[in-house]
Structure 1
Amino acid sequence: MPKANNLELQGGTYHVRLDVPRDVRDSFGGRRILSQSLRTGVHKEALDRRLPILAAWKAQIKAAREGRALPESWKEDVSAAIDQVDQWTQQAKRARIGEDGTAMPTPDPEDLRKAMEDPKLVAVLTSLIERRRSEPMGMIKLEDDLAALGKQFIEHQISSSHRLSAQQSQELETLVKDPASYKARSPITRVRLASFRTYRLEHHVALKTVNQQESKLLNLSEHLQTTGTKLDFDSVSAWLQGMKLSSKTKQQYLLAGSQFWQWAMTHEPQWRQTFKGHVNPFEKHTLPTLKGKAKLDAKRKAFTVEEVGTLYKAAKEQNLGALPDLILLGGYTGARIEELCQLRKEHLITVDGVTMFDIVDSKTVAGIRQVPVHPNLTALVDRLSESSTDGYLVPTGSNNKYGIRSDALSKAFGRLKTTLGFDRTRVFHSIRATVITSLVRADVPDRLIKELVGHETGTVTFDVYSNGSSPKQKFDAIAKLPTIPTD
C-alpha cells in the first residue's frame, strides 16, 4: 500500500507511489506499483512535485481502462492475422497426415507463457484434446478447434485493448468470420500524396505536372480501394487495361506511379517496411505500340505554308482576337505557342544590329534562345509593341491557374482548325513543324535549325562548348522562310 499522500521516504529522499489496479496491470507490463523518486527530502516540496506525476499516471490508467483507439490499419491487420491462422491450420492438417509442408512458426515465448497461465484457456484446450482424441480423424478436427480458438483470441484481444464503436464491433466480428470480406485500403493515401506534392514543389516540379500526376495517382488509389487489390504488378496491369486510353497516355500514368513509388521508398519509412523486397510495380509493362502505316497516320503532321495562310485568313475573317497575329508569329519563328505568349516588349532586343526575340523561359534549357525577327514580321511586331497595355506582345485574357497565357488562344486555334477540316494530327505545334520543314528544304544546316527552334544538338561540342551561331547567321537562316500568303 502507498503511504499517506502517496509519499514514501526512502534513505532521506521522498518517492511518489501508486498502486496499479489489477484490471490494467497488463498495460503497465504487469507492474503492481508505480514509483518514482522526487529527488527531495523536504516534505513540502515532495507534496508539490508528486502532483503532476500522479496526474499522468492516473491518465494512463484511465486510457488503459477505456482502451486505445483503433489504428488506421486495423482491418488490414485483423484480416492478415485471420488469414495467417487459416494458413497455419492447413499446414498443421497436412502434417497430421504425413504430407510435407512449410514448417510451422515458433510461438512467441511470452505469448505462450501468458496463454499457459490462463486457467480457463488451459481447461478448454485440455477438454478439446481429450474429446477429439477418441473420435475418428479427431486430431484433424482438433486443428479446426484450435483455429477457432485462435480467431476468438484475436477478436478478444482487439475488443479488450481498444475502444470500439458499435459499427467497429460489428465489422470486427464480420472480419473474423470472413477475412476475405475486407477490401484492402489503398496505400496511396491522401496524406502521402500531400507529402509527395510538397516534396515535388520544393524541388521545382511544375505545378501543372504535380496536379496532373496526383490526379492519375488518385485514379489508381480508387481502383485499388474499389477492387480490394494490393498494389502490385498485376493490379497496375488490370488498372491500365480498364482505361480506354492511348499507349502514350498510359505511359504517363506509369511514369506518375513510378515517380511516386521511388519517392515513397526513399522518404516513407512505413512504405519501405511494407514493400521491402518488392519490385517497382510500374515497371516492365508492355503496352501496344503502333507500327508502320498506323504509326505514320497517328503522327502529328506539319501544315503546308499555304495551309498556315488559310488558317491566318480564317482567323482574321472570324475576328478571333490575337489569334491571326499569333499564327504569323509561329509561322515565322517556329516557336512554341506559350513561348510566343510570354514574349514582352523588353524581349525585343538588338544584338550585332539584328532585332531578335529573346525567349527567356521555355520547357527545356535548349529552348532558352534568341530568334531573329523575320522581315515579314517587322511591321506586326512594331504594332504589337506599340499597342501593348500590359507589356506582353500578344494580348490575351487567358491566364489559368498555372500561369499559362496561351490556354484560351490554343483552344480557339483548335476550334478553328477543326472547322477548316483538319484532324487531330494538326495542332498549333504543327506550325513549328512547318517552319522546320521549310528550313530543311532551304538547306539550312541541321545544327542551326536546332538552335533556332530550341532543340539540343546532341553533341558535347555544340551543346556544352559552343556559344552558337552569330545573330547574322541566324537572321540569314530565318530570312529563308517562305512568305505566308495573307491576302
Structure 2
Amino acid sequence: MADFLELQRRRWYAVWDVPQDCRHAFNGKKRLKLSLGVDSRREALARVGPVVAGWKRTAEQARGGGDSLAARASFFREALAKAADQDEREAILDQIGDLADQIDPGPLEGQHGSHDDRPDASRFYGLATGKLIEIAPMVEPWLASRHVAEKTKAMDRSTVKLLVARHRTVQEVDRKAASRFTEQVLGNGRKAATVRRMVTGLSAFWLWLQNRGDYPENQRSPWEGQAPAKPRGRGVFSDNDADRRPFTEQEARHFTAAVDARAAKHPVDAEVVRIMAVTGARLEEVCALACSDIRVVNGVAWLTVREGKTAAASRRIPVVAPEVLEALQARLKAPALPLFPELKKDRYGNRSAALSKRLGRLLRKAVTDKDLVAAHGWRHRARTLAEHGGIEPWIADAFIGHERPGEGLSRYSKGPSDADLLRMAWAIPLP
C-alpha cells in the first residue's frame, strides 16, 4: 500500500483510501481501485503516480468546494498530452474509461447506449480526452496573456462570464449559438458600440484558443461577422446622438465657474480642468502626470505624457497660460510624487474615475445636450480653436495626441518642432 499498488489475478491495480471529508467527490466510496492494465510491477510503478495524483487533486478540489470532476479530468488530459508513445496513450485512455464507469456506470462511446443518459461520465470522458474544452477555466490564463489595460480585462471577463452562464464548453458555441447569444444576451438593452466591443473581446478569446490548439485551426470563428455593423457616414448634415462637440466659449466659461464654485470641497478639479482647457489632453493623461513629467523652461511648462489611449498619446505639450503655469509650479515637489496625489487610483490603476463622475454630474446640471462631454469637450474645443487659428492639421493632431494614419510622419519625420507646438499652445487660451 505504500506505493498505492495492489496485485490481483496477476494484474496490478492503483488503490487509495479516500479521506472521509472528501468522499462525497467519489460517490461516497471509501476506497478507490483502478486497473493499470499491466502485469509488470516496474510498468505499474510508472503508471500509478498520475492516477493517485489525480485522485488527490480531486480530494483537494472537493475540500475547497471546487469542480472535482473537472480537476480529475484535467489531470488525465495533461497525462495524455505527455504520453511517450501510443501504448502509453492507449493505457491512459483505458484508465479514463474505467474512471468514467466509476463516476457513472454504463456504456461509453463505441458501446451500446447514449452519453446523454450519463452526463457526468460523458463530461469527464470528454474533458479528460480533450474532446470537450470548458470555457471557464480558460478565462484567466487568456486574460493573463493579454497586454491590455486592466479595465479592458475586467470588461472582457464580464463578457465571457455571460457566455459561460449560457454555454459551458467551447464545442457548444457554433455560429448559430453565437448569433443567438449576441442578439438575445449582448444586444439586450446595450448600445451597438458596446455590443461590438464585447464581440471583439470574444473573437480575441477564440483566436487565443485556436492558437493554443483548443479550437480547430481551419474552422471559422463563431464570432466572425456577429457584431452589429457600424453606421455608414453619409454626405448630409447629421444630428447623430453619438457625435461629440466642443464647448462653446460661453459654455466653457460657465462650466469653469461652476467648477471654481466647488473649489473649497474639491480644489484639484479646477486645476485639472484648466490644464485640459489649454492642452486638449485626455482626463486620465492629466490625472496620471507625475512631478517629474513637468519641466519649466523660459516661462513655458512642458508636460510629458508617457502613455495613453494610443501610441500617439505619448507626446510633449507646452503650457503658456500664466494662471495654469503658476498652478503647475506650485505643485512641483519631489520628482517621484504624482502631480495630483489627492486623486487616488482605482482598481484599474487610473486616477480619473471619481473626478470624471464629478465633472459629468456638474456638466449635466448646466447643459442637457449629451453630445457635450465634460472631458472630451475640451479636446474638441482645442482642435476647433487650432483650426480657426490657422494651425496646420498635422501639428494640431500631434499636439492633442491624434493618430494620422497613412502620412508617414512617425517613419520619416520627428513631428512638429517646439516652435510649432508653441504656436498651437498660444492658439488655445483659457476661456
Alignment TM-score > 0.5, same fold: yes
The one of 419, 424, 430 aligned to 2:377: 430
The one of 170, 175, 189 aligned to 1:244: 189
Q: Using the alignment, how far apart are the partners of 1:352 and 1:443 within structure 2? A: 25
The amino acid of 1:333's aligned partner reads: T
Instruction: Give structure 1 stretches of 5+ with no counterpart.
Output: 1-16, 36-51, 76-156
Inter-CA distance 344–311: structure 2 relative to 1 (3 Å threshold): same
The amino acid of 2:220's aligned partner reads: V
The one of 304, 309, 314 aligned to 2:248: 304
User: Which stretch of the first structure deviates more once superposed, 408-417 or 188-197?
Assistant: 188-197
The one of 293, 313, 319 aligned to 2:257: 313
The amino acid of 1:370's aligned partner reads: R
Q: Secondary structure at the match of 1:370?
A: strand
Q: Report matched runs for 1:52-67 at 5 Å.
A: 53=42, 56=45
What do you get for the CA RMSD once the two structures are aligned?
A: 4.2
Q: Secondary structure at the match of 2:372?
A: coil
The one of 139, 144, 165 aligned to 1:222: 165
User: Which stretch of the first structure deviates more once superposed, 343-352 or 276-285?
Assistant: 343-352
Equivalent residues of 1:333, 1:374 under 8 A apart: no
Q: Secondary structure at the match of 1:252?
A: helix
Inter-CA distance 198–313: structure 2 relative to 1 (3 Å threshold): same
Shift of 1:256: 0.7
Equivalent residues of 1:305, 1:482 under 8 A apart: no
Equivalent residues of 2:299, 2:320 under 8 A apart: no
The one of 131, 134, 151 aligned to 1:208: 151
Q: Using the alignment, how far apart are the partners of 2:43 and 2:411 within structure 1? A: 71
Equivalent residues of 2:241, 2:370 under 8 A apart: no
The amino acid of 1:358's aligned partner reads: T
Q: Secondary structure at the match of 2:304?
A: strand
Shift of 1:384: 3.4
Q: Report matched runs for 1:365-380 at 5 Å.
A: 365-376=311-322, 377-380=324-327
Are 1:328 and 2:277 counterparts? no
Shift of 1:257: 0.9
The amino acid of 2:289's aligned partner reads: L
The amino acid of 2:254's aligned partner reads: T
Cα-to-partner distance string for 1:407-465 (whole Å, 9 max, x where unaligned)? 11111111111222334332212211111111111111011101111123334542212
Cα-to-partner distance string for 1:275-306 (whole Å, 9 max, x where unaligned)? 45421111122515446677623222222122
The amino acid of 2:244's aligned partner reads: R
Shift of 1:380: 2.5
Cα-to-partner distance string for 1:355-385 (whole Å, 9 max, x where unaligned)? 3112222222211111111224222323333
Q: Using the alignment, how far apart are the partners of 2:274 and 2:47 within structure 1? A: 79
Are 1:440 and 2:387 counterparts? yes
Equivalent residues of 1:347, 1:359 under 8 A apart: yes
Q: Secondary structure at the match of 2:381?
A: helix
Greater fraction helix: 1
Cα-to-partner distance string for 1:100-147 (whole Å, 9 max, x where unaligned)? xxxxxxxxxxxxxxxxxxxxxxxxxxxxxxxxxxxxxxxxxxxxxxxx
Cα-to-partner distance string for 1:188-230 (whole Å, 9 max, x where unaligned)? 5232112212322xxx33222222212211211212249x992
Q: Using the alignment, how far apart are the partners of 1:334 and 1:57 within structure 2? A: 67
Inter-CA distance 307–244: structure 2 relative to 1 (3 Å threshold): same
The amino acid of 1:442's aligned partner reads: G
Inter-CA distance 414–19: structure 2 relative to 1 (3 Å threshold): same
Q: Report matched runs for 1:287-302 at 5 Å.
A: 287=228, 289-290=230-231, 296-302=240-246
Cα-to-partner distance string for 1:219-248 (whole Å, 9 max, x where unaligned)? 11212249x992122211111212221111
Are 1:477 and 2:424 counterparts? yes
Equivalent residues of 2:276, 2:378 under 8 A apart: yes
Q: Secondary structure at the match of 2:164?
A: helix
Q: Using the alignment, how far apart are the partners of 1:438 and 1:447 within structure 2? A: 14
Cα-to-partner distance string for 1:45-85 (whole Å, 9 max, x where unaligned)? xxxxxxx749849969x99xx9xx9974999xxxxxxxxxx
Q: Secondary structure at the match of 1:299?
A: coil
Query: Structure 2 length normalisation: TM-score?
Result: 0.68
Question: Which residue number corresponds to residue 385 of structure 1?
Answer: 332
Query: Structure 1 length normalisation: TM-score?
Result: 0.61
Q: Using the alignment, how far apart are the partners of 2:408 and 2:218 within structure 1? A: 43
Q: Secondary structure at the match of 2:205?
A: helix
Q: Using the alignment, how far apart are the partners of 1:57 and 1:483 within structure 2? A: 77
Q: Using the alignment, how far apart are the partners of 1:250 and 1:260 within structure 2? A: 15
The amino acid of 1:380's aligned partner reads: A
The one of 333, 342, 351 aligned to 1:405: 351
Equivalent residues of 2:291, 2:336 under 8 A apart: no
Equivalent residues of 1:304, 1:434 under 8 A apart: yes
Q: Using the alignment, how far apart are the partners of 1:380 and 1:58 within structure 2? A: 72
Equivalent residues of 1:159, 1:169 under 8 A apart: no
Q: Using the alignment, how far apart are the partners of 1:367 and 1:456 within structure 2? A: 8
Equivalent residues of 1:396, 1:406 under 8 A apart: no
Q: Using the alignment, how far apart are the partners of 1:450 and 1:255 within structure 2? A: 27
Say which one has the larger Rg: 1
Cα-to-partner distance string for 1:241-278 (whole Å, 9 max, x where unaligned)? 122211111111111111111111112x3x23xx4542
Equivalent residues of 2:13, 2:36 under 8 A apart: no
User: Which stretch of the first structure deviates more once superposed, 243-252 or 296-305?
Assistant: 296-305
Q: Using the alignment, how far apart are the partners of 1:220 and 1:193 within structure 2? A: 11
Equivalent residues of 2:36, 2:47 under 8 A apart: no
Question: Which residue number corresponds to residue 82 of structure 2?
Answer: none
Q: Secondary structure at the match of 2:166?
A: helix
Identical residues among aligned pairs (%)? 22
The one of 392, 396, 401 aligned to 1:449: 396
Are 1:234 and 2:212 counterparts? no
Q: Using the alignment, how far apart are the partners of 1:22 and 1:356 within structure 2? A: 77
Inter-CA distance 232–441: structure 2 relative to 1 (3 Å threshold): same
Q: Using the alignment, how far apart are the partners of 1:367 and 1:54 within structure 2? A: 62
Aligned pairs, number: 349
User: Which stretch of the first structure deviates more once superposed, 181-190 or 475-484?
Assistant: 181-190
Question: Which residue number corresponds to residue 179 of structure 1?
Answer: 116
User: Which stretch of the first structure deviates more once superposed, 252-261 or 467-476?
Assistant: 467-476
Shift of 1:469: 2.1
Q: Secondary structure at the match of 1:223?
A: coil
Equivalent residues of 1:354, 1:472 under 8 A apart: no
Q: Using the alignment, how far apart are the partners of 1:437 and 1:475 within structure 2? A: 16
Question: Which residue number corresponds to residue 204 of structure 2?
Answer: 259
